[in-house]
Amino acid sequence: MSHEAKLQELGLTLPPVPAPGGNYVHAVRTGNLLYLAGKGPYTDDGSRATGKVGADVSVEDAYKHARSVGLTLIAVMQQELGSIDKVKQIVKVLGMVNGAPDFGQQPAVINGCSDLFVEVFGDSGRHARSAVGMGSLPNQITVEIEVIIEVE
pLDDT at 45 over 90: no
Strand ranges in the chain using DSSP code E only, listed in sequence order: 27-30, 33-39, 87-98, 128-134, 143-151
Mean of pLDDT values over 21-40: 97
Q: Across the chain, what does the average pLDDT equal?
A: 97
% of the chain exceeding 70 in pLDDT: 100
Report the distance separating Cα 92 and Cα 137, nearest Å.
20
Q: Do residues 145 and 93 touch, judged by C-beta distance below 8 A?
A: yes
pLDDT tens-digit map of 108-133: 999 999 999 999 999 999 999 999 99
Q: Which residues contact 106 (CB under 8 A, 6 or more apart)?
A: 95, 97, 99, 131, 132, 133
**In whole angstroms, what is the distance from residue 128 CA to residue 148 CA?**
10
Whether 72 has a pLDDT exceeding 90, the answer reads yes
Residue 149 pLDDT exceeds 90 = yes
Using the CB atoms, write b or e for 100-127: b if 16+ within 10 Å: eeebebbebbbbbbbebbbbbbeebbeb
Whether domain 25-151 has CATH 3.40.1390.30: the reply is no
Whether the per-residue pLDDT at 78 is higher than 90: the answer is yes
Whole-prediction pTM: 0.97
94 near 57, Cβ under 8 Å?
Answer: no
Rounded Cα–Cα distance for residues 10 and 6 (Å): 6
